[in-house]
Amino acid sequence: MTLPRIAVDAMGGDEGVQTMVSGAALARRRHDKFKFLLVGDESRIKAALDAHPNMRGASEILHCEDVVGGDEKPTQALRRAKTTSMGLAVGAVKAGDAGAAVSAGNTGALMAMSKLALRTMPGIDRPALAALLPTLGDNDVIMLDLGANTECDARNLVQFAVMGAAYSRIVTGREEPRVRLLNIGTEELKGTEELQQAASTLRAATGLSLSFDGFIEADKINRGTCDVVVTDGFSGNIALKAIEGAARFVTDLLRSAFTSSLRSKFGFLVSRPATELLRHHLDPNNHNGAVFLGLNGVVVKSHGSATAAGVANAVDVAARLLENELTQRITADLAELGGTRLRTNGAEGEAA
Amino acid sequence: MTLPRIAVDAMGGDEGVQTMVSGAALARRRHDKFKFLLVGDESRIKAALDAHPNMRGASEILHCEDVVGGDEKPTQALRRAKTTSMGLAVGAVKAGDAGAAVSAGNTGALMAMSKLALRTMPGIDRPALAALLPTLGDNDVIMLDLGANTECDARNLVQFAVMGAAYSRIVTGREEPRVRLLNIGTEELKGTEELQQAASTLRAATGLSLSFDGFIEADKINRGTCDVVVTDGFSGNIALKAIEGAARFVTDLLRSAFTSSLRSKFGFLVSRPATELLRHHLDPNNHNGAVFLGLNGVVVKSHGSATAAGVANAVDVAARLLENELTQRITADLAELGGTRLRTNGAEGEAA
């Protein structure tokens, strides 16, 4: 099969063209069959490509000068979808010129542009932002939604479960990824009505390629006992950032503890391989690449401050999702779930 | 002034009478003017008091045999408010026999019993559960609500801000504690309608003894740049548990990294004082004691698995709140806020 190209918004993000191009080149070493469409200022992209001769042959440049600002409102950015590097990268996916777009730019703008250009898949009401988080287990856990939808109904949550499971099958290789709904307790009657309805639909659903294991509390997300954590965008964003902040808090404390005395400093130096391992495990660059699931095409958001290695991971996510035909998998799973049943459950939810 | 007594539910929690009594005795060393009402099985309490002669003289025992179970539903527990150690401890506050109750039992049951017996303060619609979290700064940060109210309107959030600030003044000594609303972004238009309305009320309010600094994202909670984080009970519970889980995740990683090689093990031993410092800082026992704010009386929830040192911290919280007359402070602040204005804002919120 001919693999679709990956469009890279070379201008988005805080680190500039060099980092985006180097990241794509790094990713290409792991996926050497992929070709790229690099969108942005031609002369700067060409200069960046000088350091990556192999990448040059695999890349086409789509020139543009306009860039979406980091603080720009999505509605404003939308108006410049046809002139900005972000808009053109997403547009290439819409036109079939590329299978996936990767951008390190403004998340809200990327979401708005992607929704408008690519539309949601049949059977999906709203796309969701999904990311991989480190765990104590063998695989990363997928959490979604992380902020695309502030409020979600039961039907949205069930669709997120199906999409997250399709993604997790690619990541973990499990036939039936273990899915849980994020809640403030594990008892059946805990949490909001939306959560209880979503749980009851997932419990009753048969033929889904996932194992629904009920609710999970936020302190268990990283334990490695669950493959997909489903939540609304508000709670998901709170949980994600709380985890990031707490991890940074602990490592900051650790650093100051280790430098508090000469003895500690010495101990720190001796055990540096251990602390390096910790740093590697917690480095957000190693988990970079959040995916907008549920669109007719793959869109990956790289962290704005990601390094070249981080960008490479985001491009890697795009490549793996294309190789494994994520979009087609989700379509098949949705057919399995049965549009009718899901719709009925959603309607009941709204009536209640 | 005569200090009110502290009622201790000696039976609640996983660790038993000995731990509760020893914890109270430890706390009494820091607050030697307090007297206690120990509620539970008389013979077991007496046996526990044998190790603490000073405590014996300062304690009265209220005998009962019935205990609220850890998994018991609040509605079930409520029926036994007059016979259980938890119910009798709260009842003592209602009857004026004690100024505060401390329990390590079932949180939901304690909340339900406290609400029913003590009622909410004039001007407060719903009580909130508030806890202290460690920060990189000089003081702990107070976060509320942590699970008492799954959904909250703008009016609830504003009241939480006032209550949290009153608590923070006691903890930090600041005249105007820095208060923020937990949100998924710091821009004015981010988040739910409830959050935006609460922010607009707090921005407009004058004469409040707090400084409202807008929104805060969950990764900044522990930075020490904010004294009170206000949120609904669902998001607050998610944030709190995500922080606890992530801190445990990092320390688990660290432990396995440190024991991964002989060299690391040696380094770990040498730097043990540093890692002990970290452990001390992150030990939940050192931040034990969540408070139900907004009731006519002080009720403190100790963690079910707290050690005697942890229970001592929870009793310490009760003692400090009594010494500083928290309830009276909140009443005064609410008067300052002006019941009318707050009511108007709330009504607008509900109409919108």
Give the span between the Cα atoms of B45 and B184, in whole angstroms: 48
Question: What pLDDT score does B295 carry?
Answer: 95
Band (pLDDT 50/70/90 cuts) for residue A342 is very low
Any A CB within 8 A of B241 CB: yes
Q: What average pLDDT does this structure show over A77-99?
A: 95
Q: What tokens were used for A90? A: 């997403």
Alpha-carbon distance B246 to nearest alpha carbon in chain A (angstroms): 5
Question: What pLDDT score does B269 carry?
Answer: 66
Contact present, A163 and A294 (Cβ < 8 Å): yes
Share of chain A above pLDDT 90, in %: 65
- Looking at chain A, the domain(s) classified CATH 3.40.718.10 span 6-118, 128-284+331-351
Give the B window 257-296 contacts with A, CB below 8 Å. Answer: 257-258, 260-261, 263-264, 266-275, 277-278, 281-282
Which ipTM score applies to this complex? 0.88
Name every residue whose Cβ is closer than 8 Å to that of residue B2 and which is 6 or more positions away in sequence.
none
Share of chain A above pLDDT 70, in %: 90
Q: What tokens were used for A347? A: 């309607």
Q: What average pLDDT does this structure show over A292-299?
A: 95
> Is B273's CB within 8 Å of A264's CB?
yes
Cα A344 to Cα A120, A143, A233, A341, distances in angstroms: 20, 26, 23, 5
Mutation site, B135, B140, B249, interface A, largest A CB count within 10 A: B249
Name every residue whose Cβ is closer than 8 Å to that of residue B320 and which is 6 or more positions away in sequence.
B170, B171
Contact present, A195 and A181 (Cβ < 8 Å): yes
Closest partner CB to B253 (pick from A218, A239, A281): A281
Give the span between the Cα atoms of A49 and A21, in whole angstroms: 7
Per-residue b/e over A142-170, b at no fewer than 16 CB within 10 Å?
A: bbbbbbbbbebbbbbbbbbbbbbbbbbbb
> Is A277's CB within 8 Å of B261's CB?
no
Reference A20, options A75, A66, A61, A73; nearest CA is A61
Q: What average pLDDT does this structure show over A47-63?
A: 94
Q: Which residues of B touch A250 (CB under 8 A)?
A: 246-247, 250-251, 278, 282
Residue of chain A whose Cα is closest to the Cα of B236: A238
Task: Name residue, tokens 């940060």.
Answer: B141
Strand partners, B290: B301
Rg, C-alpha atoms of chain B: 21
SS3 for B334?
helix
Give the span between the Cα atoms of B207 and B345, in whole angstroms: 16
Closest partner CB to A221 (pick from B219, B245, B278): B245
Give the span between the Cα atoms of B242 and B26, in whole angstroms: 31
Q: What average pLDDT does this structure show over A288-313?
A: 94
Mutation site, A249, A261, A279, A282, interface B, largest B CB count within 10 A: A249
Give the span between the Cα atoms of B239 and B244, in whole angstroms: 9
Strand partners, A228: A142, A179
Contact present, B299 and B118 (Cβ < 8 Å): yes
> Is A238's CB within 8 Å of B237's CB?
no
Task: Give the pairing of strands B178-182 and A59-63.
Answer: unpaired
Closest partner CB to B273 (pick from A134, A248, A263): A263
Window from A119-133, A266-280, A303-317, B184-198 with minimum mean pLDDT: A266-280
Reference B86, options B109, B60, B58, B63; nearest CA is B109
Any B CB within 8 A of A305 CB: no
Q: What does the pLDDT profile of chain B (352 residues) look like in tens digits?
A: 567 899 999 998 888 899 999 999 999 998 888 999 999 999 999 999 999 998 999 999 999 999 999 889 899 999 999 999 999 999 999 999 999 999 999 999 999 999 999 999 998 999 999 999 999 888 999 999 998 888 999 999 999 999 999 999 998 999 999 999 999 988 877 889 999 999 999 999 888 889 999 999 999 999 999 999 999 999 999 999 999 999 888 888 877 777 767 766 766 666 666 667 677 777 777 888 999 999 999 999 999 889 999 999 999 999 999 998 888 888 888 877 664 344 434 433 333 3
Question: What pLDDT score does A344 carry?
Answer: 38
Q: Is the pLDDT of residue A350 over 80?
A: no
Going A142 to A143 to A147 to A149, the CA torsion angle's sign is positive
Question: What pLDDT score does B58 carry?
Answer: 93
Give the span between the Cα atoms of B101 and B20, in whole angstroms: 12
> Is B241's CB within 8 Å of A249's CB?
no
Q: Is the pLDDT of residue A331 over 70?
A: yes
Question: What pLDDT score does B153 carry?
Answer: 96
10 Å CB burial of residue B195 (0-12, 13-18, 19+) is: buried
Question: What pLDDT score does B89 carry?
Answer: 98
Band (pLDDT 50/70/90 cuts) for residue A333 is confident
SS3 for A236?
helix
Superfamily of the domain at B6-118 = Isopropylmalate Dehydrogenase (3.40.718.10)
Question: What pLDDT score does A257 carry?
Answer: 72
Contact present, A142 and A229 (Cβ < 8 Å): yes
Question: What pLDDT score does A346 carry?
Answer: 40
Alpha-carbon distance B261 to nearest alpha carbon in chain A (angstroms): 8
Question: What pLDDT score does A351 carry?
Answer: 33
- Which tops the pLDDT comparison, A343 or B237? B237
Question: What pLDDT score does A327 carry?
Answer: 85
Question: How many residues does this entry show for chain A?
Answer: 352
Question: How many residues does this entry show for chain B?
Answer: 352
Residue of chain A whose Cα is closest to the Cα of B249: A222
Window from A74-78, A103-107, B102-106, B333-337 with minimum mean pLDDT: B333-337
Question: What pLDDT score does B187 carry?
Answer: 82
- Which tops the pLDDT comparison, A205 or B194? B194
Closest partner CB to A274 (pick from B151, B260, B281): B260
Q: What tokens were used for A276? A: 């390096």
Question: What pLDDT score does A352 carry?
Answer: 30
Going B105 to B109 to B112 to B117, the CA torsion angle's sign is negative
Closest partner CB to A246 (pick from B246, B264, B267): B246
Question: What pLDDT score does B12 carry?
Answer: 86
What distance lies between CA A325 and its chain's CA centroid?
16
> Is A261's CB within 8 Å of B278's CB?
no
Any A CB within 8 A of B217 CB: yes
10 Å CB burial of residue B340 (0-12, 13-18, 19+) is: exposed
Question: What pLDDT score does A329 carry?
Answer: 86
Q: Which residues of A touch B237 (CB under 8 A)?
A: 184, 218
Q: Is the pLDDT of residue A151 over 80?
A: yes
Per-residue b/e over A215-250, b at no fewer than 16 CB within 10 Å?
A: bbbbbbbbbbebbbbbbbbbbbbbbbbbbbbbbbbb
Per-residue b/e over A62-83, b at no fewer than 16 CB within 10 Å?
A: bebeebbeeebebeebbebbee
Question: What pLDDT score does A252 carry?
Answer: 83
pLDDT digits (tens, 9 = 90+) for B254-264: 777 777 677 66
What average pLDDT does chain A have?
Answer: 88
Any A CB within 8 A of B218 CB: yes
Question: What pLDDT score does A49 carry?
Answer: 96
Q: Which residues of A touch B247 (CB under 8 A)?
A: 246-247, 249-250
Give the span between the Cα atoms of B40 and A217, in whole angstroms: 32
> Is A242's CB within 8 Å of B237's CB?
no
Give the span between the Cα atoms of A101 and A114, in whole angstroms: 9
Terminal CA-to-CA distance of chain A, rounded, Å?
A: 48
Any A CB within 8 A of B30 CB: no
Query: What is the CATH code of the structural domain delimited by B128-284+331-351?
Result: 3.40.718.10
Question: What pLDDT score does B271 carry?
Answer: 66
Task: Name residue, tokens 């900044």.
Answer: B220
pLDDT digits (tens, 9 = 90+) for B203-238: 998 888 899 999 999 999 999 999 999 999 999 999
Strand partners, A293: A128
DSSP state of A91: H
Any B CB within 8 A of A249 CB: yes
Mutation site, A195, A237, A276, interface B, largest B CB count within 10 A: A237
Give the span between the Cα atoms of B244 and B241, in whole angstroms: 5
Name the helix (H) or strand (E) containing A87: helix A85-94
Q: How many CB pairs under 8 A join A and B?
A: 197
AA identity, residue A298? V
